[in-house]
Amino acid sequence: MTSELVIKDLHATVDDGAKAVLKGVNLTIRQGEVHALMGPNGSGKSTLSNAIMGHPHYQVTSGDILLDGESILEMEPNERARLGLFLAFQYPVAVPGVSMANFLRTAVSNVRGYTDQPMVSDNNRPGMVGSNLMPMREFRNELLSKMDEFHVDRSFAKRYLNEGFSGGEKKRVEILQMAMLQPKIAIMDETDSGLDIDALRVVSDGVNKLAGPGLGILLITHYQRILNYVQPDFVHVFFDGRIVISGGAELAHELEAKGYQWVKDEFGEAELVKA
């Protein structure tokens, strides 16, 4: 069965309800599809990402988010992750003192269901406590091969998560995490921002490697250039809290050429009139 994420007339606020940011978003993403979402700064793209993943600072006031027909609004972010949602952060967060390997092993063990199993202890090491994480050796092999595949230096396994990583390194590591967690639907919030040309190629190659029938992608971006590498099936223009135009890949070129002014002219007025 093809999984689908359906966002229905979603309204959301931030700042304890003080500010309405999402004003009726409608979007369906199926496994196997690549959607590009473009829109001016502050229009609410990250808010949409956060709302989908369940960030506690963003309150959904009406509408719904359904994964395979089930509302996920009441679920904790970790439950959403386990159902196959993934968010590549616009600004990945540093967690000092926590090695990437340790973090990822715990994450993978949760998402793949290892942690549902009872603890088993390793009889060869008396006194060692049982564990229900993914077996160390297996995990290590997988991590190292994925690090090679996605061009993340192996030394990063021992480094503290995102701490002192450059902007580009953080983005690559987001892709690596996505590769390890194997989501069904991934939201990539400006994963292409702040990258030099080579990094952009690495990241878009990464996206292309992961893309396929098992993965639906919402690619949030400001730039046409990533779309030279990653072919979107759909392009949506996001403006003032909702999607105002949807089309095919050609829409991205049009935006690149004309900027957002025409969108503002067309839809900004309407909002003003409405308000």
Partner 1 sequence: MATASDREALSGVKDDYQYGFSKPEEYVFKARKGLNHEVIDQMCDMKNEPDWMREFRHRSLDIFLSKPMPTWGADLSGIDFDDIYYYIKPTEKQGKSWDDIPASIKDTFDRLGIPEAERKFLAGVGAQYESEVVYHSLQEQWTKLGVIFLDTDSGLREHEDVFKEYFGSIIPPSDNKFAALNSAVWSGGSFLYVPKGVQVDIPLQAYFRINAQNMGQFERTLIIVEEGASVHYVEGCTAPIYASDSLHSAVVEIIIKDGGRCRYTTIQNWSNNVYNLVTKRARADKGATMEWVDANLGSKVTMKYPAVYMMGPKAHGEILSIAFAGRGQTLDAGGKVVHGAPNTSSKIISKSISKNGGRASYRGLLKVAKGATGSKSTVVCDALLLDDHSRSDTYPYIEIDEQDVQVGHEASVSKVNEEQLFYLMSRGLGEEEAATMIVSGFIEPMVKELPMEYAVEMNRLIQLQMEGSIG
Ligand X SMILES: Nc1ncnc2c1ncn2[C@@H]1O[C@H](COP(=O)(O)OP(=O)(O)OP(=O)(O)O)[C@@H](O)[C@H]1O
DSSP 2: -
Answer for the pair 36, 219: CB distance below 8 angstroms, yes or no: yes
Residue with tokens 């997988």: 142
**Residue whose CB is less far from ligand X, 3 or 47:** 47
**Residue whose CB is less far from partner 1, 66 or 75:** 75
String of b and e for 241-273 (b: at least 16 CB within 10 Å)? bbbbbeeeeebbeebeeeebeebeeebeeeeee
Q: Which stretch in 2-10, 44-52, 72-80, 197-205 sits in contact with Mg ion by CB under 5 A?
A: 44-52
By CB under 5 A, tell whether 43 contacts Mg ion: no
Phi, psi of 57 (to 5 degrees): -80, -10
Query: What CA–CA distances, in Å, run from 160 to 96, 193, 272?
Result: 6, 22, 47
By rule CB under 8 A, what string of x and - marks binding of each residue 37-66 to partner 1?
----------------xxxxx---------
Closest approach of partner 1 to the CB of residue 166, in Å: 18
Residue selected from 7, 10, 12, 14 as contacting ligand X according to rule CB under 6 A: 14
Instruction: Indicate the pairing of strand 216-220 with strand 185-189.
Output: parallel
- Report the alpha-carbon distance of residue 41 to residue 70 in Å, rounded: 31
By CB under 8 A, tell whether 93 contacts partner 1: yes
By CB under 5 A, tell whether 50 contacts Mg ion: no
Phi, psi of 201 (to 5 degrees): -65, -45
By CB under 8 A, tell whether 229 contacts partner 1: no
Q: Which stretch in 36-44, 114-122, 145-153, 154-162 sits in contact with ligand X by CB under 6 A?
A: 36-44
Closest approach of Mg ion to the CB of residue 190, in Å: 6
Residue selected from 46, 50, 162, 204 as contacting Mg ion according to rule CB under 5 A: 46
Residue selected from 3, 13, 31, 43 as contacting ligand X according to rule CB under 6 A: 43
